[in-house]
Amino acid sequence: MSETKEPRRRFLRQVFAIVPAATVASGATLGAAACTSHAADHAAPAARADYHPSYFTADEWRFINAAVDKLIPADALGPGALQAGVPEFIDRQMDTPYGHGKLWYMQGPFHPDQAPEMGYQMSLAPRDMYRHGIKACNDFCVRQFGGKSFADLDADTQVKVLGDLEHGKITLEPVPAKTFFSYLLNNAKEGFLSDPIYGGNRDMVGWKMVGFTGARADFMDWIEQPGAKYPYGPVSIDGSRG
């Protein structure tokens, strides 16, 4: 395996190794199986230009598109977050019980400085975290980079800003930078590998990349064929095939 392919494959192995893909609609971190190669001869699908966000404003939408494009970029192994419809997935999630924070205990007291293993400790639902986090990040970029918001920065600077968010080198209010980044990254992963009925993983490009078969009913014909390559593509919960 070439060194250029390994980082992306390692990233997807880490993403796809925690919980089954069927759980992503609840906002959980994704995971499931080992990666297999994805041939570059599969053409990347076009992004849905006709989708209009129901929650994010125009400026927020530009931020989401720019950020997830840097988190999961298209490359020789296959399409990236934009081609997979990850922004649409995140926007749709904001109007679900997850987006409204109805899946968690959201009463006080709140202790956002607690260790991660203590669970979510903020008063903001995910939709509010995105709203405040995007504004705070854009305000930071405007101050630091000559009046330019995040989406207007060059690609290298965008990557640096995301890295600084990840490591808490930027102070955001009222959302801690590391918390905001972690939800943005996790939701991007979920959108890339969720069932397509939730708006992401368009044409099942994420599943095809990692060799996941989706919601196929059974594999009885393959139980007695260890090591044989499964020849059929993935299937969505709604029965559509990739």
Cα distances from 212 to residues 32, 79, 156, 215, in angstroms, run 8, 16, 32, 9
Domain limits, the chain: 6-37+54-222
Q: What is the DSSP letter of 116?
A: G
Residues 6+ apart with CB under 8 A from 147: none
pLDDT tier for residue 223 given thresholds of 50, 70 and 90: confident
Q: What is the pLDDT of residue 125?
A: 92
pTM of the predicted structure, to 2 decimals: 0.77
Q: Taking residues 119-126, what's their average pLDDT?
A: 80
Which range (29-43, 85-99, 128-142, 214-228) has the least confidence?
29-43
**Residue 196 preceded by cis peptide, ω within 30:** no
H helical segments located in 104-242: 126-144, 155-166, 177-193, 205-210
Q: Is the pLDDT of residue 37 over 70?
A: no
Q: Is the pLDDT of residue 36 over 50?
A: no
Q: What is the pLDDT of residue 3?
A: 47
> For residue 4, which amino acid is it?
T
Q: Taking residues 35-56, what's their average pLDDT?
A: 56
Phi, psi of 119 (to 5 degrees): 90, -175
Helix-helix angle 155-166:126-144, to 10 degrees? 120
**Residue 109 preceded by cis peptide, ω within 30:** yes
Q: Is the pLDDT of residue 16 over 70?
A: no
Q: What is the pLDDT of residue 169?
A: 96
Distance CA 169, CA 66 (A): 20
